[in-house]
Structure formats: C-alpha cells, structure tokens
Amino acid sequence: MNMSWPEPDDVHYCDTPPGYMRVMGQVFGSDIQNVTVTHGNNTWECGYDNGKYFLVNCNLEIKGLNDQVVLTVRDSRGAMTSVTRNVFFYTMPGPESIWVDGYVLETSGIPVKDAILDFQSFYDNRNVSKSTHTDMNGWYSMKRTYGFHQNITVHKEDYETISRSATFKFWSPDRMNFTLARSHPAPQGFLIVLVGVLGGIFWFSHRKKQ
C-alpha cells in the first residue's frame, strides 16, 4: 500500500471553510473488499480497481482541524491494514512555514553523520519543536517547521554542542551550515597509565626517603 498524497506532515490551506483535500495512492493485492479514508469522525470509501491495482483517488471535505488522515484497506477475509498521515489545516493566511537545509561538518571539513538538529520556536501561542538528523554526507533538510524565528541546537556524542538563532523567510529555501568541534576527553587507557606512572613516582620517592 502506497499513500502518495498527502505527504507526511503536509500543510493545507483554505480561504473559507470548509476546505477540500485530495487523497491519492495505490493498493496492491487480491481480494480487496474496500478502501476507506478517515479524517476526524468522518469516513469515506475512496478509489476503484483499475484491473492492475486499486487506485486511491478522492477529494475530502475538511470539516475540522483534526491533524490525521487514515487510509484503511480491508480484504474479503476481514484482514485490515492502514497507514496514517499527520497533516495540518489552516485558514488563510497560512502559518510561518520555513524550509532550511545544509551541511554539518567537522572543523577539518569531514561530514558529521547522524548529528541531530533540534529546531525550536514560539508559534501560535505555543512552543513548537521539530528535529532532523544528517545523512552519511553530513546533509540535513528541515521542511515544514513553523515560526520565522528559530533556535537551532546541533549535537552528537563526542562533539561539542552548538546553538544558533536565525530568522527565515516564508517557505523560501534557506541554506545554513554548521561546524562541530570534537570534544577531547582523556581516553580511559591514558588515565590508567597516568595513574600508574604517578603511583610509581610516589612509591620510588617514598623508598628513597627510607
């Protein structure tokens, strides 16, 4: 089952309620009894069998601001599976939605894999927080987080945590790169050797006094 639209954390606007939202996807398999879409307390049958697969394609009336759309498939044996999308509905004007991407690198220029970036802002009278992480190339992409003014924290084990504030434009791609410095705790083996050396010096000095 593939739910191609809406995408995860998708955003929809309408000038005057009620608004409408398209739900699209494909369901593969045999003996499909029905496919339904649920939003809030409302459920609709959606799509048709085109001979190769079940095509999901329907236009839903948005009757509230419930933030989930659920696509459910049932077969003739009563088996059921579903997929859920978190979506956001707003009347115009839209929210302060931003889009930012970039790289997280070491001071030497080496990409930092799996670094975590926490975006925090105060929007619509509440604190909004969303996180993402870097891929093997140190690349991250943050889409559809809200609030033009963001506090961004970048962290990973064995690196020093950094924080930065930034102001972005409405849904306009911005590039923001970060550089992480490695923290340098003394290795455990080094500490053991150091303690041993200091102990030996103390013992030798004590013997000479005797």
Instruction: Give pLDDT tens digits along the chain (210 positions).
Output: 777 777 776 666 655 556 677 787 878 877 777 788 887 777 878 777 777 787 787 777 766 555 678 888 888 787 888 888 777 666 555 556 778 899 999 999 999 999 999 999 877 667 888 899 999 999 998 877 777 888 999 999 999 999 999 887 765 568 899 999 999 754 555 445 444 555 555 555 555 555
Q: Residue 34 region, left (φ>0) first, then alpha (ψ -120 to 50), else beta? A: beta
pLDDT of residue 16: 53
What domains can you pick out in the chain, each with its CATH number? 2-91 (2.60.40.10), 97-180 (2.60.40.1120)
Q: What is the DSSP letter of 39?
A: E
Question: Beta strand pairing status for 10-14 and 80-91?
Answer: parallel
**Rounded to whole angstroms, what are the CA distances from 192 to 186, 189, 197, 198?**
10, 5, 9, 10
The candidate with the shortest Cα–Cα distance to 37, out of 69, 74, 81, 78, is: 69
Q: Is-contact 176 102, C-beta < 8 A?
A: yes
Q: Which residues pair with 173 in a beta bridge?
A: none
Nearest-angstrom CA–CA distance, 155 and 137 = 16
pTM value?
0.47
